[in-house]
Copies of this chain bind each other. A is one copy, B any other.
Amino acid sequence: MEKQFIKPSTLPGFMELLPADQIIFNNIMDTIRNNYEKSGFVPMDTPIIEKTEILLAKGGQETDKQIYRFTKGSNDISLRFDLTVPFARYSAQHMSELTFPFRRYQIGKVFRGERNQKGRYREFYQCDIDIINNGELSIINDAEIPSIIYSIFTEIGLKDFKIRINNRKILNGFFNSLGISNNVEILRIIDKVDKIGMEAICKELLELGLNENAVNKIRDFIGIGGTNEEILKALENLNIDDEIFKIGVDELSKVVYYIGCFGVPDKNYTIDLKIARGLEYYTGTVYETMLDDYPNVGSICSGGRYADLAGYYTNQKLEGVGISIGLTRLFSQLRELGIIKENPSSSLTKVLVIPMGETMDYSVKTVKKLRECGIVSEVYLENTKFNKKLSYANKLGIPFTIIIGEEEVNSGILTLKDMNTGEQFKVSVEEAISKIKA
């Protein structure tokens, strides 16, 4: 009877990369991590599985439908669908052991059983930073967060991106001044303006029951443009007599000022009164980040200020500000658009040591020296034809080979080959090391 094989495959909506892409993916993740750490954020790692009652404490969300939920023994458990809820739980649970303000980052996989569609993943990495305080948190923190995002995207090689900033208090204060109360619904509608256009959202606002006058005022308001200074000036000139509105304008002007102090160039951040963010949870500053040349990609990094991180788990008010990069989707989009180029190499190895004849010990000892000098290297250990060994280096895109025959063992002079140019050099191990490092 013929042996039956199980077809090797992954579930739809789960990203899996070949080595060339995985290397780039990890480089980006390292860039994110290094920048988070450089700014004094500590790493956090929480379980992927949590009690369902913890994860769904808020309830009534889209997440309820999407969550991976199951029973093990007598436990009702689920896979985390974001890193914010676990962070809230962690902060409440360990509050007495933490020092505030508390700056943490977390990079990890989250799970959402979304409808299967292009560009949507059911398992994806989020890379979050937050700063929280046990009580009030200075508004200047809201300026630091975008400066870190700026460093990351610049280091990744993106140049033409814009961090768009708004403040919920400005929007809410403005709605108050119009005598409108159903703010959350209005925010959700406004949030769609880039996708569906101004006419469509005005129509939705009318359908919501707003009168024509109010809708026109909202249209004019979110259409305010210009430099950051011009927009702030325009907001002042509206002379809106609402306390919340005034606080919002004051916060936003401080945020914009300090973002400059943190070194973000003017071209990479802008006030945008259209940014609303759908989530109820934000109470002040909100961020989105757009690629100038690819508006269809949508926001590649979003977040904001919140007044009560862990209200479902503790009566201590934890005020904070944070932002999240959805790395899996970002990578797949940048890769598809060609903004991230194909990796010509499927290996991290800088040099392949190729033994010829009976020189295996010497080759192994040579690779040991290379590794001790921090050079990523390997020996070709299989007993096969020379051409096959060379072709291994070529296929993987390894830039150098060191060929070790019996002559090389006797003389101590190795043959170093630059695989890109084809040039060969007769060198000592030490010379080879400096050449490879250079």
Contact = CB atoms under 8 A, between A and B. Distances in A.
Task: Please classify how large the interface on chain A is, using the bins under 10, 10 to 19, 20 to 34, 35 or more.
Answer: 35 or more
A346 B99 contact: yes
A138 B382 contact: yes
B6 A73 contact: no
Contact of A7 (B39, B111, B313): B313
Given A6-B313, A365-B261, A133 B22 contact: no
Interface string A358-378: 001100110010010011111
A291 interface: no
Interface in A262-296: 262-263
A382 B137 contact: yes
Interface string A298-326: 00000000000010111100000000000
Contacts of A109: 48
Contacts of A39: 371, 376-378
A140 B381 contact: yes
Contact of A8 (B11, B92, B123): B92
Given A47-B10, A47-B11, A101-B381, A348 B42 contact: yes
A313 B70 CA distance: 28
Contacts of A227: none
Given A19-B43, A37-B376, A49-B123, 12 more contacts: A8-B89, A10-B46, A17-B45, A23-B42, A40-B349, A47-B123, A48-B111, A68-B72, A72-B113, A101-B381, A137-B382, A258-B360
Interface of A: 3, 5-11, 14-19, 22-23, 25-26, 37-51, 53-54, 57, 68, 70-73, 75, 77, 89-90, 92-94, 97-99, 101, 103-104, 109, 111, 113, 122-123, 133, 136-138, 140-141, 144, 147, 151, 258, 261-263, 310, 312-315, 346-349, 360-361, 364-365, 368, 371, 374-379, 381-383, 392, 395-396
